[in-house]
Amino acid sequence: MQMNEPDALFGATRRIGPVILDLQHISLSFGGVKALTDISFDVRQHEIRAIIGPNGAGKSSMLNVINGVYRPQQGDIIYRGEHRKNMDCYAAAKSGIARTFQNIALFKGMTVLDNIMTGRNLKMKSNFLLQAIYWGPARREEIEHRKKAEEIIDFLEIQAIRKTPVGRLPYGLQKRVELGRALAAEPEILLLDEPMAGMNVEEKQDMCRFILDVNDQFGTTIVLIEHDMGVVMDISDRVVVLDYGKKIGDGTPDEVRGNQDVINAYLGTSH
């Protein structure tokens, strides 16, 4: 991986593919609270799809539905042509959906490296007895995955904190490590929940670059929740807007920017 080389990036071409994930008429409520009401939208291969909306609109809940943390009461999820009523976490992970969380959900007691290695767990095959003996295949496997993890560490420029327990890291770095953990799974779809919260502009720029590179380089499809409109408008291909659990807009950044409902509900007049 040589993403640090700008030339490599100029050459890459982004090709938006067919719909890979289609959400149809999703409704989700908790007791009396309606978090999502009849929401449908789709995600195409290779695209960067943003979800925006005011606080409590149901954005995070949407991601939770996509990867099976929440089970919607209604609706259909079609992922790679397969219909399902809902996902379950394990199946989602297995089929290539990885994510980051709004309230950082790193494993606090583990080092950065270990956290990133956990992202590769689904790719590890040797059983626990072999691992206990740590000989032969288990050892080779561990080293091979360690290499991948190190590539990600290099990519995210967090070499220096490799062996630091994540609990000690400042907020912004934790966000980056979490991205690393998701990337380690080499996902097909990457769900990012406010990856740039708590970062300054410079760090956001870096993060954007990471996201764009992942998208370019691996063709990873990205679903992104972000409150920084600058970021959303600059890097996403299409944007869904939610408000009070309802979809109020969907389209290219420019379309959304012009949508009066969206302006009223979310963007305000200053944008």
Ligand X SMILES: Nc1ncnc2c1ncn2[C@@H]1O[C@H](COP(=O)(O)OP(=O)(O)OP(=O)(O)O)[C@@H](O)[C@H]1O
Which residues of the shown chain bind ligand X in the complex (CB under 6 A)? 30, 33, 35, 53, 55-61, 102, 168-172, 198
Residue 20 in the binding site for another protein (CB under 8 A) = no
Ranges within 101-130 binding Mg ion (CB under 5 A)? 102
1/33 with CB nearer another protein: 33
49, two tokens: 């799809």
45/164 with CB nearer ligand X: 164
Answer yes or no: are the C-beta atoms of 177 and 158 closer than 8 Å: yes
Neighbour tally for 181: CB within 10 Å: 26
Cα(88)–Cα(183) distance, rounded to whole angstroms? 20
52/138 with CB nearer ligand X: 52
CB of 188 to ligand X, least distance (A): 23
Ranges within 99-158 binding another protein (CB under 8 A)? 99, 101-103, 105-110, 114, 117-119, 121-122, 124, 126, 128, 131-134, 138-139, 142-143, 146-147, 150, 157
Residue 71 in the binding site for another protein (CB under 8 A) = no
Answer yes or no: are the C-beta atoms of 43 and 223 closer than 8 Å: yes
The 3-state secondary structure of 51-116 reads EECCCCCCHHHHHHHHCCCCCCCEEEEEECCEEECCCCHHHHHHCCEEECCCCCCCCCCCEHHHHH
CB of 186 to another protein, least distance (A): 12
CB of 208 to ligand X, least distance (A): 17
Sign (positive/negative) of CA torsion 86, 91, 96, 99? positive
Site for another protein (CB under 8 A): how many residues?
89
CB of 216 to another protein, least distance (A): 11
Cα(106)–Cα(172) distance, rounded to whole angstroms? 13
18/142 with CB nearer another protein: 142
Task: List the one residue from 1, 16, 19, 89 that touches another protein (CB under 8 A).
Answer: 89
Cα(259)–Cα(220) distance, rounded to whole angstroms? 28
**Contact set with Mg ion (CB under 5 A):** 60, 102
